[in-house]
Amino acid sequence: MFRIDRVVFASVVGVSVSLLSSVAMSQLDLPRPSPSAKVSQVVGLTEVSVDYSSPAVKGRPIWGGLVPYDKMWRTGANQATKISFSKDVVFAGKPVPAGTYALFTIPSKDAWTVVLNKKADQSGTARDYKPEQDLLRVKVQTKVAPFRERMTFVFSDFTDDEAVLNLEWERLCVSIPIKVHTAEQATANIATGIDGTWRTFAFAARYMLETKKDYNTGLKYIDQSLAIKEDWFNLWIKASLLAAKGDYKDAYGLAEKAYKLGQKAEFFFFEADVKKALSEWKKK
């Protein structure tokens, strides 16, 4: 009886140790082979973001090896890569509505096919992917790039109106141009968003000055701002608008007034610009 109890006890202890080991292993926090990554960029008024898993080269042949040519690829590891647009964009020349999409690619030796699929959450090409859910397919060129151990997405050459999304891995780069509709969106925001304060009229005028180059509309907004309150900031914007139209005499007078008010202000962050303009406009 005693021997049986010892055997039972030993068995129970063995099972317990095994269970504890399994729990410990399941809670063990170690680096993943292909860690999750996310990159995002605001382009004008549009946020573009990419969620992906980043595999490593690890000395393996990648293109035509680990990633076969002329076959659909999830563009990363684990789940299919996702790309999101907060507003409508033009993706490699094709219009794309705001939303989130699965980003697939078909690599080849010379050019790649980039696919946006309407089903954003899917594991990859074998089980979930359905070509009838494709939103678009576009061809993009590849180029040689400095070596990258891990697959990476990075934005480059972005302005208020466009950006380039680059996929870089091993010694290859795939660049996808993305254009946004900032000018139209900003104009619509101005039309509906001015709240009757001097600052919003001033910001609208400054946008017309610096981006739209619509000086007459800018003057309309800045006069509305000045009618509410006269500040060095809106005086300086009006001076700049007049100078842009070639009226340096009136621009100089307003810049001089802006400079005097700015000297009394807590934040005169365009002081150097106003001083430079006063020096240059006096000669014109």
Average pLDDT over residues 69-74: 94
pLDDT computed for residue 28 by the predictor: 85
Tell me how far apart the alpha carbons of residues 5 and 18 are, in angstroms, rounded to a whole number: 20
Residue 33, pLDDT > 90, answer no
pTM comes to 0.81
Which one is predicted more confidently, 44 or 1? 44
If pLDDT is split at 50, 70 and 90, which confidence band does 2 have? Answer: very low
pLDDT at 11 over 50: no
Confidence band for 5, pLDDT divided at 50, 70 and 90: low
What is the rounded distance in angstroms from the CA atom of residue 16 to the CA atom of residue 26?
A: 15
Within 8 A by CB and 6+ apart from 40, the residues are 47, 48, 49, 50
Lowest-confidence pick of 29-38, 142-151, 247-256:
29-38
Q: What is the mean pLDDT of residues 120-135?
A: 87
Question: Is the pLDDT confidence value at 12 over 50?
Answer: no
Instruction: For residue 23, report the phi and psi dihedrals to the nearest 5 degrees.
Output: -60, -45
pLDDT in tens, 168-182: 999 999 999 999 999
Tell me the per-residue pLDDT of 81-122, one tens digit each, with 9 for 90 and over: 999 999 999 999 999 999 999 999 999 998 999 999 999 999
DSSP letter, residue 80: P
Sequence letter at residue 90: V
Amino acid at 182: T
Structural domains present in the chain? 36-179 (no CATH), 194-281 (1.25.40)
